Amino acid sequence: MKHARNPAADMAIWAAAIAVLGFLLLPLVIVLLYAFDASSVQVWPIRALSLRWFSATWADEEVRSALLISLEVAGLATLLATVLGTLAALGMNGLSTRSMQAGSFLLTLPIALPGVLTGIAMNSFFTLLDIPFTFITLVIAHTTFCMVIIFNNVMARLRRLPPSLREAAQDMGATPWRGFVTVTLPLLAGSVMSGMLLAFALSFDEVIVSTFTAGSETTLPLWIFGAIRLGQHMPEVNVVVFAVIAITILPIIAGQKLAANASREH
């Protein structure tokens, strides 16, 4: 028996949803608008619009260097996380339920714990081993939490794959490796790609763990954090924030679409 819809209740739910979204997104919208402010001093309302700060920001060598480092770290961390996360998911998929739950719990700790705890832990680990903080430590630190994204995506897909597909490949004479390459891996491709896109976005705009492991390296989020803390280059900060949002939102949207398509397969 269907219940009659209450227009007033529906309107209240929509109003609450719009209010929450507005509270979350309004600060971002304001920052994006300030990126086009012609003035070097932030005032509201904006009196004139201009693209002058985009060219000025691109001409800043520190910003270009930070952008390059962020792209390199995110790219390398994503590649390493893809290999390690996929292997971890494949290895745990054949374990007992209790062992799988324990392994999944341990693997998800770097992203489940507050970023400051993960950053301090990584900092203490590198200090204990007397490893200097360089580009390599930054990549390793980012790989630890990016791997969780890949692992969760691949594990979720593996749980939906029927074992009969692998058994059918073996019945046809395929070796375990050939069965994985020709049957399992193509079915995992969508989940792996969506995880890679989300991991790249997560690594690119990460700031807390980077603070403890970057050493003298400066990523784009670290440059933003330093500029805001010192109250300098605020027009350029707005432009850089605009670029970071644009760079991270595209892989997030693409990753969600790939994940949705992968979930509809088979």
Please name the residues in contact with 216: beta carbons below 8 A apart, sequence gap of 6 or more. Answer: 133, 134
> What's the mean pLDDT when you consider all of the chain?
79
pLDDT of residue 53: 80
pLDDT digits (tens, 9 = 90+) for 108-122: 777 777 778 888 888
* Higher per-residue pLDDT: 255 or 115: 115
Between CA 144 and CA 78 the distance in angstroms is: 10
Reported as a single tens digit per residue, the pLDDT across 161-202 is 666 666 566 656 565 666 666 666 777 777 788 888 888 888
CB 232 within 8 A of CB 186: no
Integer-rounded Cα Rg, in Å, for the chain is 23
Instruction: Using DSSP, state whether 5 is helix, strand or coil.
Output: coil
Provide the pLDDT for residue 207: 85
Tokens, residue 208: 């807390």
Residue 37 phi/psi, 5-degree rounding, is: -75, 130
- pLDDT tens for 18-41 read 888 888 888 778 877 877 877 777
